[in-house]
Amino acid sequence: MSDNIATITPADEAEIKLVIRRYSEHLDGRQFAKLADAYTETGSLVNSFEEYIPGGEAFTGTLASGADAVATAVGNLMGPLDATQHLLGAIIIDATEEGARTQTQVLAQHHRAGGFYDVGGTYIDSFVRTDKGWRIEVRELHTLWQKGEASVVSGD
């Protein structure tokens, strides 16, 4: 292991996992402003969809940069929905030179006006240690599959 790789202690691992779980709690609890707490001030949220997913290109790219901008953008996207549920699976944490990289399985269910849109994928997060604790510098939601009506989320 390189001398430049950060050390992730059990306490670090617990804190990182809590940030990931709280994000979903705030998202599904419709407490969108609290999503900013998970990010660094310059943090960003990036979406990517597998090429075979119809309409995925409409959601692919940087959604927002800056903690408050991410919270606002997610709130604007998810706020019109009646409900969401983000179920998290395995969380893998690896130390990096900058801090930590995580991969978290996610099943995201979206509901609006009788319509449903479900996606399965992976959150790939770059975490850094800040004076407020571990925070996400970059979150990429890599969507592997989808089922239902994308218009539930897009509003089309």
* Interval 17-68: pLDDT, tens: 999 999 999 999 999 999 999 999 999 999 887 776 766 677 777 889 999 9
Containing structural domain, residue 30: 10-154
List, in order, residues 6 or more apart from 43 with CB less than 8 Å away: 65, 66, 67, 70, 135, 136, 137, 138, 139
Q: How far apart are CA 44 and CA 65, in angstroms?
A: 4
Q: Given a cut of 80, is residue 4 above it in pLDDT? A: no
Helix (H, G, I), strand (E, B) or coil at 152: helix
Instruction: Indicate whether 27 belongs to any domain.
Output: yes
CATH of the domain at 75: 3.10.450.50
**Residue type, position 147, single letter:** K
Q: Assess contact for 127 and 102: CB atoms under 8 A.
A: yes
| 138 part of a folded domain | yes
CA pair distance 75, 27, nearest whole angstrom: 8
In a domain, 3, yes or no: no
Residue 76 domain-assigned? Answer: yes
pLDDT higher at 139 or 7: 139
Residue 44 resides in a domain:
yes
Q: Name the strand (E) or helix (H) holding 26.
A: helix 10-28
* Whether the predicted pLDDT of 1 surpasses 50: no
